[in-house]
């Protein structure tokens, strides 16, 4: 046998052809050596082709659904309201247009203190801004905002499409179709796609990068040009929206390295320097192109391309905005929400099909890794889980639900689609079982699809059946935190003839969503005047109608049905729950009573505020200020009764809690007064008056040090609270510390 092998000629490749000449034949008498077979490196990523024989038909279905989704999103975008953050976004957009139009001469876009918008990339705002400029639309026109909403919807569709294409790349057209369907009936994502200029463009860039990353790496060493462009474009869009867009760049480095190793036999792959160089060249080239393109859309980054994007990323941790949010029925500050805040929001607001599918993907993970390319399965899960886990680990401040994590949702849906697709494959020989799987998936998506159909203007207010829908979440979680329902309130006023072009008298509209209301009412010119009044300050000025969504309303008042108030003439609902109230003020009694109170006209204030509570019995502001007027008139029992009425409506009302404490002080019971003020501080820690009165009690009891400690707490939370400085100076003067007294009086003088 050995002699037979020695006489088989070695097939040598030369110039693309094979020759039967062996090297040994050149040397007469030298025995021929057996050929050494070159062993190919182990490909740990190789899996069977995922597509089925009916792939051509499924491909047509896929693109049909995708086109339908594009038309739906585009159509819905024209009915959306204006979100509250557009006050900052539109201002930045105009500054960016001026910057680029003047070739950098107008440098206002380089430093935008209000909202720190210069720390954000300008991709969305530049494209939308120049589109509006070209079309001649002004910010005060609805058409201006329609252009922005349409562009947002297109980017939302891009995110959906790229998620579906990634699912198709991993598991075939069936998985792609399932992803499309789940995404298109995801009310939160669809709703944000209609009007969210930050989170949706970022999600689009994120998903473009992930999808094209997988395709580019799987086609190494010669990836397609379009996928290279798509990957660079995705990286650029993500970074040109926010500094967090550096994350996909890190993904590219990590997964390119893993792909190189797993595709080429593990650590042995490093011996193939040519292939390693190709990977490095493509990866670094695409990353450099994406980074350079992103910087072109970001004036702040243009000033120092290799430094400022990283400065922006670091500053976001310092500039986190802390606002009051409603979570699990309590109104708390966004910087003290528990670690599970994003998890519960996700659990309660995504379609059941996505939720069940994602959990199922985790359960079937070993099977998915064996069936499909394990690197992309893990990438999908990592892209969905890591951002959420990192937010929890860093204890980052997030608010408005989980909108800051919107980009993590499409990968979550891809993972869910892999689970549903695997179930269909598992029962491929049992048609009845397959139909059952399809039926379960369809049933798990009906609720969310129906919600979008019933609430096309604001589907983002959706809550799933896990918490009982919007009605089950009402009073526990924020609903219309963007305040976009003001548009529906205004449209109702127009339908009723309250607002019309030929109005003869000026209508004054009060709202805590000033920007969107002002833009939507700008067409009426001087005939409509918009006043910004917070909900708890709505009696500070007179108005005819009020537009107030549930944002910042006390959770207990919502849960117990004490909102909307009695003077609501119309209520906008979503999922059967009140979202916005249109109020009518008859008589202006509350505002006039407040004005009398400021003038120390106690009888006048009592008269007006009594009329207000007779007309609107659940006006907690009127009850609280009526209690104040009674207290100032030394009508202690009446004051306590009025304050208790206010607290029955709004248990967290600071003024009423303090007034009951003052009641006990005036009754000569410092113990009960102190207990009341301490209880008020537990309810609302940012209550400087409570610390002030606790200091008063301590000082009367001869404990000056405790009094000074309480006053310092008041100053810490309210640096402009003059009474605390004055009281501190008085205590120091009484104890002979004139230097400290002078310091506090000097500090008080500096307060405007």
Q: What is the CATH number of the domain that holds 689?
A: 1.25.40.10
Q: How far apart are CA 292 and CA 249, in angstroms?
A: 12
Task: Look at residue 721 in the predicted model and tell me its pLDDT.
Answer: 92
Q: Which residue has tokens 């009051």?
A: 324
In a domain, 326, yes or no: yes
Helices (H), 569-601: 589-598
Cβ 511 vs Cβ 517: under 8 Å: yes
In a domain, 725, yes or no: yes
> Quick count: other Cβ atoms within 10 Å of Cβ 247?
22
Which one of 461, 478, 512 terminates a domain? 461
Task: Look at residue 36 in the predicted model and tell me its pLDDT.
Answer: 52
Higher pLDDT, 292 or 686: 292
Q: At 47, is the pLDDT very low, low, confident or very high (cuts 50, 70, 90)?
A: confident
Q: Say yes or no: 244 and 305 in one domain.
A: yes
What pTM was computed for the model? 0.87
DSSP-derived 3-state class of residue 324: strand
3-state SS record for 455-508: CCCCHHHCCCCCCCHHHHHECCECCCCCCCCHHHHHHHHHHCCCCCCCCCCCEE
pLDDT digits (tens, 9 = 90+) for 264-293: 888 888 888 888 999 999 999 999 999 999
In a domain, 264, yes or no: yes
**Tokens (6 digits) for 273:** 């320097």
Q: Say yes or no: 257 and 406 in one domain.
A: yes
Task: Look at residue 38 in the predicted model and tell me its pLDDT.
Answer: 53
pLDDT at 26 over 70: no
Mean pLDDT score of the chain, rounded to an integer?
90
Total number of domains in the chain? 3
Q: Say yes or no: 578 and 603 in one domain.
A: no
Q: Say yes or no: 370 and 507 in one domain.
A: no
Task: Look at residue 115 in the predicted model and tell me its pLDDT.
Answer: 81
Task: Look at residue 27 in the predicted model and tell me its pLDDT.
Answer: 44
Q: Say yes or no: 615 and 560 in one domain.
A: no
Q: Cα 64 vs. chain centroid, distance in angstroms?
A: 30
Q: How far apart are CA 634 and CA 663, in angstroms?
A: 10
pLDDT at 322 over 90: no
Maximum Cα–Cα distance across the chain: 128
DSSP-derived 3-state class of residue 725: helix
Task: Look at residue 428 in the predicted model and tell me its pLDDT.
Answer: 82
pLDDT digits (tens, 9 = 90+) for 370-382: 999 999 999 999 9
Q: Which candidate, 574, 518, 487, places its Cα nearest to that of 78?
A: 487
Which one of 551, 584, 617 terminates a domain? 584
Cβ 392 vs Cβ 185: under 8 Å: no
Q: Residue 578 carries which DSSP code?
A: E
In a domain, 466, yes or no: no
Strands (E), 372-423: none
Q: Say yes or no: 340 and 197 in one domain.
A: yes
Higher pLDDT, 322 or 563: 563
Task: Look at residue 660 in the predicted model and tell me its pLDDT.
Answer: 95
Average pLDDT for 538-567: 90
- What is the torsional sign of CA 77, 81, 85, 87? positive
> Quick count: other Cβ atoms within 10 Å of Cβ 19?
12
Residue % of the chain over a pLDDT of 70:
94
In a domain, 499, yes or no: yes
User: Domain limits at 378?
Assistant: 55-461
Burial profile 451-475: b = 16 or more Cβ within 10 angstroms, e = fewer:
bbeebbbbbbbbbbeebebbebbbb
**Tokens (6 digits) for 276:** 């390693």
Task: Look at residue 31 in the predicted model and tell me its pLDDT.
Answer: 53
Task: Look at residue 265 in the predicted model and tell me its pLDDT.
Answer: 82
Task: Look at residue 559 in the predicted model and tell me its pLDDT.
Answer: 87
Q: At 727, is the pLDDT very low, low, confident or very high (cuts 50, 70, 90)?
A: very high
In a domain, 480, yes or no: no
Pairing state between β 324-327 and 330-333? antiparallel
DSSP-derived 3-state class of residue 212: helix
Which residues are CB-contacts of 589 (< 8 A; sequence separation ≥ 6)? 608, 609, 611, 612, 615, 622
Q: Say yes or no: 507 and 645 in one domain.
A: no
**Tokens (6 digits) for 461:** 């207010």
pLDDT digits (tens, 9 = 90+) for 147-188: 999 999 999 999 999 999 999 999 999 999 999 999 999 999
pLDDT at 576 over 50: yes
Q: How far apart are CA 564 and CA 616, in angstroms?
A: 11
pLDDT digits (tens, 9 = 90+) for 200-216: 999 999 999 999 999 99
Q: Cα 463 vs. chain centroid, distance in angstroms?
A: 15
Q: How far apart are CA 621 and CA 589, in angstroms?
A: 12
Q: Say yes or no: 357 and 455 in one domain.
A: yes
Q: At 249, is the pLDDT very low, low, confident or very high (cuts 50, 70, 90)?
A: very high
Cβ 554 vs Cβ 651: under 8 Å: yes
Task: Look at residue 28 in the predicted model and tell me its pLDDT.
Answer: 47
CA distances from 372 to 170, 342, 375 (A): 6, 30, 9
CA angle centred on 400, ends 456 and 713, rounded to 5°: 155
DSSP-derived 3-state class of residue 714: helix
Q: What is the CA radius of gyration of the chain?
A: 33
Task: Look at residue 292 in the predicted model and tell me its pLDDT.
Answer: 96
Q: How far apart are CA 99 and CA 129, in angstroms?
A: 11
Q: Cα 270 vs. chain centroid, distance in angstroms?
A: 42
Average pLDDT for 717-724: 92
Which residues are CB-contacts of 565 (< 8 A; sequence separation ≥ 6)? 581, 583, 616, 618, 619
pLDDT at 129 over 50: yes
Q: How far apart are CA 9 and CA 33, in angstroms?
A: 10
Cβ 216 vs Cβ 209: under 8 Å: no
Task: Look at residue 164 in the predicted model and tell me its pLDDT.
Answer: 98
Q: Say yes or no: 521 and 608 in one domain.
A: no
* Run of H or E residues at 330: strand 330-333
Partners of 577 in beta bridges: 574
**Tokens (6 digits) for 606:** 């009592």
Helices (H), 83-224: 86-101, 123-135, 142-171, 173-184, 187-193, 199-218
Q: Say yes or no: 521 and 420 in one domain.
A: no
Q: Say yes or no: 536 and 399 in one domain.
A: no
Task: Look at residue 155 in the predicted model and tell me its pLDDT.
Answer: 98
Q: Say yes or no: 130 and 86 in one domain.
A: yes
Least confident of 52-61, 229-238, 383-392, 571-580: 52-61
Pairing state between β 528-532 and 17-19? unpaired
Helix, strand counts (H, E) of the chain: 33, 9
**Tokens (6 digits) for 330:** 């309590």
In a domain, 468, yes or no: no
Q: Residue 84 carries which DSSP code?
A: T
Task: Look at residue 395 in the predicted model and tell me its pLDDT.
Answer: 85
Cβ 354 vs Cβ 412: under 8 Å: yes
pLDDT digits (tens, 9 = 90+) for 630-672: 999 999 999 999 999 999 888 888 899 999 999 999 999 999 9
Instruction: Say what angle helices 352-363 and 409-426 make with each other, to 10 degrees.
Output: 70
Q: How far apart are CA 155 and CA 70, in angstroms?
A: 10
Q: Residue 8 carries which DSSP code?
A: S
Average pLDDT for 309-321: 77
In a domain, 673, yes or no: yes
pLDDT at 19 over 50: no
Cβ 725 vs Cβ 696: under 8 Å: no
Residue % of the chain over a pLDDT of 90:
77
Task: Look at residue 517 in the predicted model and tell me its pLDDT.
Answer: 96
């Amino acid at each position: 046998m050995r002699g037979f092998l020695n006489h088989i000629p070695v097939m040598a490749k030369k110039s693309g052809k094979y020759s039967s000449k062996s090297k040994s034949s050149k040397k007469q008498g030298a025995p021929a050596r057996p050929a050494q077979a070159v062993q190919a490196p182990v490909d740990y990523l190789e899996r069977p082709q995922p597509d089925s024989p009916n792939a051509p038909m499924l491909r047509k279905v896929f693109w049909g659904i995708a086109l339908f989704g594009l038309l739906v999103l585009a159509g819905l975008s024209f009915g959306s309201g204006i979100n509250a953050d557009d006050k900052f976004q539109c201002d930045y957009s105009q500054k960016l247009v001026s910057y680029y139009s003047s070739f950098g001469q107008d440098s206002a876009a380089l430093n935008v203190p209000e909202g720190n918008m210069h720390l954000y990339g300008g991709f969305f705002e530049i494209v939308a801004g120049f589109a509006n400029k070209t079309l001649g639309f002004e910010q005060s026109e609805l058409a201006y905002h329609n252009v922005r909403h349409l562009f947002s919807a297109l980017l939302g569709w891009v995110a959906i499409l790229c998620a579906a294409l990634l699912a198709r790349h991993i598991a075939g057209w069936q998985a792609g179709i399932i992803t499309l369907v789940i995404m298109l009936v995801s009310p939160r994502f669809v709703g944000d796609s209609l009007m969210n200029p930050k989170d949706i463009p970022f999600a689009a860039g994120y998903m473009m990068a992930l999808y094209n990353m997988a395709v580019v790496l799987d086609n190494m060493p010669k990836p397609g040009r379009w996928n290279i462009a798509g990957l660079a474009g995705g990286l650029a869009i993500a970074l040109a929206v926010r500094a967090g867009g550096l994350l996909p760049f890190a993904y590219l480095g990590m997964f390119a390295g893993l792909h190189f190793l797993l595709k080429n036999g593990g650590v042995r792959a490093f011996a193939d320097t040519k292939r390693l160089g190709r990977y490095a060249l493509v990866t670094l080239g695409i990353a450099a192109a994406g980074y350079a393109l992103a910087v072109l859309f970001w004036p702040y980054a243009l000033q120092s391309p290799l430094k400022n994007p990283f400065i922006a990323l670091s500053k976001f941790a310092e500039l986190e905005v802390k606002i009051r949010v409603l979570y699990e029925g309590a109104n708390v500050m966004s910087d003290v929400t528990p670690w599970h805040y994003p998890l519960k929001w996700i659990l309660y607001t995504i379609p059941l099909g996505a939720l069940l599918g994602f959990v199922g993907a985790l359960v079937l993970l070993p099977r998915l890794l064996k069936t499909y390319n394990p690197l992309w399965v893990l990438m999908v899960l990592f892209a969905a889980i890591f951002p959420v886990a990192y937010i929890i680990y860093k204890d980052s401040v997030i608010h408005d639900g989980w909108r800051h994590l919107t980009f993590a949702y499409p990968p979550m849906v891809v993972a869910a689609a892999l689970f549903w697709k695997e179930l269909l494959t598992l029962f491929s020989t049992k048609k009845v079982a397959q139909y059952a799987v399809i039926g379960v998936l369809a049933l798990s998506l009906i609720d969310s699809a129906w919600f979008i159909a019933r609430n096309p203007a604001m589907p983002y207010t959706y809550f799933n059946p896990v918490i009982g829908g919007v009605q089950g979440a009402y009073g526990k979680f924020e609903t219309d935190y963007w305040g976009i329902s003001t548009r529906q309130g205004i449209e109702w006023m127009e339908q009723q003839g309250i607002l019309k072009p030929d109005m003869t008298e000026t209508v004054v509209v009060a709202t805590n969503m000033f920007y969107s209301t002002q833009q939507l009412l700008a067409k009426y010119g001087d005939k409509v005047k918009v006043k910004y009044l917070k909900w708890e300050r709505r009696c500070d000025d007179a108005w005819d109608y009020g537009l107030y969504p549930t944002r910042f309303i006390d959770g207990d008042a919502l849960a117990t049905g004490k909102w909307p108030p009695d003077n609501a003439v119309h209520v906008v609902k979503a999922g059967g729950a009140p979202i916005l109230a249109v109020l009518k003020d008859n008589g202006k009694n509350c505002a006039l009573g407040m004005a009398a109170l400021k003038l120390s006209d106690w009888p006048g204030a009592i008269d007006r505020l009594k009329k207000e509570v007779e007309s609107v019995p659940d006006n907690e502001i009127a009850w609280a200020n009526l209690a104040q007027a009674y207290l100032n008139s030394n009508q202690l029992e009446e004051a306590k009764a009025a304050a208790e009425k206010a607290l029955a409506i709004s248990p967290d009302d600071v003024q009423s809690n303090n007034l009951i404490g003052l009641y006990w002080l005036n009754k000569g019971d410092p113990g009960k007064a102190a207990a009341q003020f301490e209880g008020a501080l537990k309810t609302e820690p940012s209550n400087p008056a409570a610390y002030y009165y606790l200091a008063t009690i301590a000082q009367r009891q001869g404990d000056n040090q405790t009094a000074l400690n309480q006053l310092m707490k008041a100053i810490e939370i309210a640096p402009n609270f003059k009474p605390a400085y004055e009281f501190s100076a008085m205590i120091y003067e009484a104890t002979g510390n004139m230097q400290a007294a002078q310091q506090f009086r000097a500090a008080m003088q500096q307060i405007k």
